[in-house]
A and B are shown apart, each in its own frame.
Chain A
Amino acid sequence: MTRLTRAFGRPLALLILLFASLWILGLIAAPQVIMIEQSLWRMERPEGSAEISVRIDGLYNQLDVLALDRSAVEAEADASIRAQKLDTSDVALAALEAEIAGLEATESTPVKVYTLANFAQMGSAHFAIFLKTIVASLAVTAIALAVCYPIAFAVAKLETPQRAGMIMLALVIPYAINELLRIFAWQMILNYNGPVNALLGLFGVEPIPFLESGTGVFVAMVYAYILFMVFPLYNVLETLDSNQIEAARDLGASSWRIHTRVVIPHARPGIAVGCIMTFMLSAGSYAVPYIMTRGTAAPWFTQLIYNRFFEATNWNVGAAYALSLLVICTLFIFVMMRLLKVSLKDIAK
């Protein structure tokens, strides 16, 4: 704080603190904390509500008895005695009714109970989808890495810098076109009546239901997020000194060894960023499964989350599901950082 005031003066330092804390506390930390809290409780019937309901039944019986007595009183001949007796029975009735109303309120007002039941609600069916989403996202990440590594290497090391710049600029174009529209294009390509099936038909192959089988989701997902792998890889490989490769080659290293001992170790931060982004985007993708399957194939985990929130409107369970996804993504980040021995500073560039 004193360092901040010394550097910027008091008014400016206060302004900086204000904006920074608005962002960090108001937009990042508080929502996350509230979401975690929400996932840990649910509204339940209060404890002992069964006993209360037995009591309420008993009171209703008493009420009926009193009402019966009251109707007997109405037959009383003496007007003054009748009025007196009616008054006392009315008071008793009102007291009973008030007691019942109070008990019923406690019985029906749910109380907030902290529990892990929201997570358990997932059940085996939803848990299977959760696992499937994770495995599929890992596969998307692995494919993207395998496809992009040669591309990034070729552009960064085999092209002149001028041409490399042009190629990367060209790749920005599909990247800049909205994700939904690119996915939609794949929807048309892989459609049952689409060009791929038309082409296969020429060879006498029966049309394949790509979209309904979930293959379409996979293809479109690789396509949609592959560029998040290309750019980080290219950025690190560009900084690799070509002389190192030359030296290794002069010393008799094979291409394989050059890559495993020189290029890949240098590319670690890029690989980490690419894998983390691709995995996170795939596991958290709502658009791809939503557009590619339109409900015809098994859902992606994100669709379950959406349904908990906006269709079943059970926000507690929805928060628990969302938190599960967040935990997996965080876990993946730590594993990648460990495996590739990179720090957060290397990642966020």
Chain B
Amino acid sequence: MSHTGMGSNLVLRIYMALFFAYMFLPLGVMLVAGFSDYSPPSITVWRGGTLRWFSELWADERMWSGLTNSLIIAVAVILLSLPMGLSGALLLSKLGGRAGGVLYAVMVSPLLTPGLIIGISTVIFWRHLGAAAGLVTAILAQSAFIASYAMLMFMARLQRLDNTLQEAALDLGATQAQAFRRITLPFLRPTVVTATVIAFLQSFENYNTTIFSIGGQHTLVTEIGARMRFGMSPMINAIGILFILVTLIGAVIWGVLRQRERKLEDLR
């Protein structure tokens, strides 16, 4: 942007630096407090560094059972929401006009609904059927909106599917099921991978829908929430540091993979 004045450009850069400071400062606070040997968690009082909070976290039974529950829920949500999302996308791809529009609106509506309402309505519904709230209702509530993400991703991919391939296969005598398995599914594979990752993250990190639908059970995240209310242990910051670490590793892996993909594309 050679036309932009140096002055306004500088202002924008300073603004951006401030924004980044705003985004990352709390993470820094978490980092410092997690290693600080002082409770309640603070960064204004420093009594030396410690790894105590990590070992306390390691010995915490409820955190471990929460982690197990989180993983169980996440796997179930992936197994449920991906087929549902894919079915929704396939249905829409063959459905035009007003019916398609209405169906589409219903399918994206969970993304525009506050999470707690999805949680509450699921619990009410299952209580009518005689089932109490627990891991299963949490799985169903989460799947309701995570399937919407999957549906949107599959839909975007399906729009780029070359229909002539399928027609050619059918002309050559393949059944529709064969054509689907040999052409459509392989074409969708990259989306299956990303949708799995997104579904896992959405499920694992979810608080709003889960806390309203899980009843007396707990996941790692709802347990963290409960700890924040009762007693403020710096242990929470230790979890935060672990989250940052895992996220950083994930981001680096993703960045490297993308770089490699780009290089491969350049070679072609």
Contact = CB atoms under 8 A, between A and B. Distances in A.
A82 B224 CA distance: 76
B177 A223 contact: no
Interface string B45-58: 00000000000000
Interface in B92-129: 94-95, 101, 103-118, 120-122, 124-125, 128
Interface string A26-54: 01111110110010000000000000000
Nearest to B110: A28
B140 to A, nearest CB: 6
A286 interface: yes
A75 interface: no
Contacts of A325: 114, 117
Interface string A1-31: 0011011110110011111101110011111
Contacts of B211: 286
B228 interface: yes
Nearest to B120: A322
A154 interface: yes
Interface in A96-135: none
Contacts of B117: 35, 284, 322, 325-326
A348 B120 contact: no
Given A34-B128, A185-B26, A319-B124, A177 B177 contact: no
Interface stretch (A62-70, A83-91, A188-196): A188-196
B6 interface: no
A205 interface: no
Given A19-B84, A177-B244, A198-B44, A32 B112 contact: no
Chain A interface, DSSP helix/strand/loop, else mixed: helix
Interface residues of B, number: 91
Interface string B225-237: 1001100000011
A344 B101 CA distance: 9
Contact of B12 (A20, A150, A347): A150
A249 interface: yes
B251 A173 contact: yes
B23 A285 contact: no
B16 A344 contact: no
Nearest to B27: A174
A259 B122 CA distance: 44
Nearest to A16: B87
Interface stretch (A208-216, A232-240, A263-271, A302-310): A302-310
A151 B16 contact: yes
B196 to A, nearest CB: 16
Contact of A195 (B16, B29, B177, B255): B29
Interface size class of A (residues with CB under 8 A): 35 or more
A290 interface: yes
Given A177-B247, A326-B113, A27 B143 contact: yes
A138 interface: no
A169 B240 CA distance: 19
B116 to A, nearest CB: 6
B129 to A, nearest CB: 9
Contacts of B13: 154
A158 B4 contact: yes
Given A24-B107, A176-B247, A184-B236, A286 B208 contact: yes
A329 B87 contact: no
Contact of A315 (B16, B111, B124): B124
Contacts of A187: 228
Nearest to B254: A169
A172 B110 contact: no
Contacts of A186: 26
Contacts of B84: 19-20, 22-23, 27
A151 B3 contact: no
Contact of B116 (A198, A223, A284): A284
B147 interface: yes
Interface in A216-256: 223, 227, 242, 246, 249, 255
Interface of A: 3-4, 6-9, 11-12, 15-20, 22-24, 27-32, 34-35, 38, 147, 150-151, 154-155, 157-158, 169-174, 176-182, 184-189, 191, 193-195, 198, 223, 227, 242, 246, 249, 255, 276, 280-281, 283-287, 290-291, 294, 302, 305-306, 309, 315, 318-319, 322, 325-326, 329-330, 333, 344-345, 347-349
Given A315-B124, A345-B104, 20 more contacts: A3-B95, A19-B87, A27-B143, A31-B121, A35-B121, A147-B19, A150-B15, A155-B16, A169-B251, A172-B251, A176-B201, A178-B240, A181-B240, A184-B237, A255-B8, A294-B228, A319-B120, A344-B108, A347-B108, A349-B152
12 contacts: A8-B176, A20-B87, A23-B88, A24-B106, A31-B124, A151-B16, A173-B248, A189-B29, A249-B3, A294-B228, A322-B120, A325-B114
